[in-house]
Structure 1
Amino acid sequence: MTDITPHVLYEKRGGIAYVTLNRPEKRNAFSPEMLVRLCDVWRDVAEDREIRVALLTGAGDQAFSSGGDLGTTIPLMMRTRPPVGEWEERFSQDRKQLYRGILRGATFFKPVVAAINGHALAGGAEMVLGTDIRVMSSEATIGVTEVRRGLIAGGGSLVRLARQVPWAMAMELALVGEPVSAQQALTMGLVNRVVPPDEVMGVAEELARRISLGAPMALAKTKEAMVRSNGLPFEEAFAIESQCTKDNAASEDAKEGPRAFMQKRPPVFTGR
């Protein structure tokens, strides 16, 4: 029987986009279908004015994601075999869908919360690094393991790691290639919360809900300023911050927030 279950589940509720990697039997490894679908999902997240924040997780309780599928995606990336079937054909037409799918160089600035329900390894860890706020199961591990397979973590980790954790920690993660525990990830600042497995989604969802109370443009411009200015000299960084502040100040939401406060009522943000 042909498996017709989509490799990505996508749902929108209350300003939150719920994105679930849906191959639990394969430890949510990135298949060509999953990556093509993820690119479509992120495009919709960027364009849908009702979405304020995305919540990303993996199906099941064993893995957030184990990274690229070594039987399909990696051979197609390395061009060691021809594509077979619709999804492999679509993926092979643009192999950079791997990078866009796992949030390497994402061009939209809506916040992304990760609910790390299980092990996040190789490309799965790289995808986590592309998110903004991270809630991790106490039973999970995270590791940039590519060097153990003769590969390198080219999905964003070699740039992001040293910007997110201290240099020595970043080098150990990248060069040793061994997963670290949730508690170690918390100690080095790689994740925001470590909670029991059955609380991961609830805590992540509550964080996403609290984020969604903010004005859409203010949220996006805040993230944009922080991402684009990261690592730049102060003068250049402040220029980006000032431009984002100016852009947001011109929005209707920037007027609605103070007005609602003065009128002692909840603000009604429209994203305009």
Structure 2
Amino acid sequence: MGGTEHLSVRREGATLILTLNRPEARNALSLPMLVGLYDGWVAADEDDAVRSVVLTGAGGAFCAGMDLKALAGTSTGKGMGGEDYRDRLKADPDLHWKAMLRHHRPRKPVLAAVEGPCVAGGTEILQGTDIRVAGDSATFGLFEVKRGLFPIGGSTVRLPRQIPRTHALEMLLTGRPYSAREAADVGLIGHVVPDGTALEKALAIAEQINACGPLAVEAVKASVYETADMTEADGLAAELKRGWPVFDTADAKEGARAFAEKRPPVYRRA
């Protein structure tokens, strides 16, 4: 199933679950974690049996961002551990950005199930996900400016496009923590659930997605992102190019036939 010592992978039905697994460090980013994440995104993209991905964290935490203690005093990041994986980073210097969803967008829907801290790099990875669920006690925030750092994982670009600019700038410039309720109020996350149930809720949403036509789902996701910066006229034209081919698929015909026959559809990605 893949994975590394800091990233575990398992399947539940048609959903691939990627778990950040370094609880002793509140799942702070490490090289083994980044390599495992990137491999997980690729595996999901390449496996037609996978229809959705859920990203979560072990031990009651999502991700506390970069391991600043390991990184302190070095510009090479050698303190991040995982020397066995360094050849992967050398072969693909962009791997860490792909892992953090800065330079890679999976074609399958990605859901985040957040418990505990989801801060700094955790909030940056979060912005690369599509649907977000958080436990009541989850916390969010971009703390980089408090450490004299820059949130270079994409937040100065993405955050003002995902939530109102005034809220984005406050989060970016104050470096203060946000509760789950506050994060939901500004639109950063979509659901706040009782602590310990974020994964359960994310999997329930994923199951609803998995029951839909996979070609349609992937085309809808692609259209939303590729038209985001277009004018309305250009976006509508691009939508037709994405949308019309879906109607010619066998899956579209199966969906209509199943509706008429009052039975669940059986989609075959065809």
How does the TM-score come out when normalised to structure 1?
0.92
How far is 1:225 from its partner? 0.4
Change (3 A) 1:265 1:160: same
Work out whether 1:12 is the aligned partner of 2:8: no
How far is 1:64 from its partner? 0.4
Q: 1:208 aligns with which of 184, 206, 209?
A: 206
Change (3 A) 1:72 1:239: farther
How far is 1:54 from its partner? 0.5
What residue number does 2:114 align with?
116
Residues 112 and 132 in structure 2, CA contact (< 8 A), matched pair in contact too: yes
Aligned length: 267
Tell me how far apart the structure 2 counterparts of residues 23 and 92 of structure 1 sit (CA, whole Å): 23
Work out whether 1:65 is the aligned partner of 2:66: no
Give the counterpart letter for 1:55 in structure 2. Answer: V
How far is 1:231 from its partner? 2.4
Residues 4 and 32 in structure 2, CA contact (< 8 A), matched pair in contact too: no
What residue number does 1:49 align with?
48
SS state at 2:67 partner: coil
How far is 1:174 from its partner? 0.8
Tell me how far apart the structure 2 counterparts of residues 168 and 138 of structure 1 sit (CA, whole Å): 24
Q: 2:176 aligns with which of 161, 175, 178?
A: 178
Residues 18-44 of structure 1 deviation map (CA, whole Å, 9 limit, x = unaligned): 110000011101101111111111001
Tell me how far apart the structure 1 counterparts of residues 156 and 72 of structure 2 sit (CA, whole Å): 18
RMSD: 2.0
What residue number does 1:102 align with?
100
Identity %: 39
Equivalences for residues 1-272 of structure 1 within 5 A? 6-61=5-60, 63-72=61-70, 78-79=75-76, 85-272=83-270
Residues 30 and 73 in structure 1, CA contact (< 8 A), matched pair in contact too: no
Residues 16 and 208 in structure 1, CA contact (< 8 A), matched pair in contact too: yes
How does the TM-score come out when normalised to structure 2?
0.92
Unaligned runs of 5+ in 1: none
* Larger mean Cα displacement after TM superposition, 81-90 or 262-271: 81-90
Give the counterpart letter for 1:192 in structure 2. Answer: G
Unaligned runs of 5+ in 2: none
Residues 33 and 88 in structure 1, CA contact (< 8 A), matched pair in contact too: no
How far is 1:155 from its partner? 1.0
Residues 71 and 77 in structure 2, CA contact (< 8 A), matched pair in contact too: no
SS state at 2:196 partner: helix
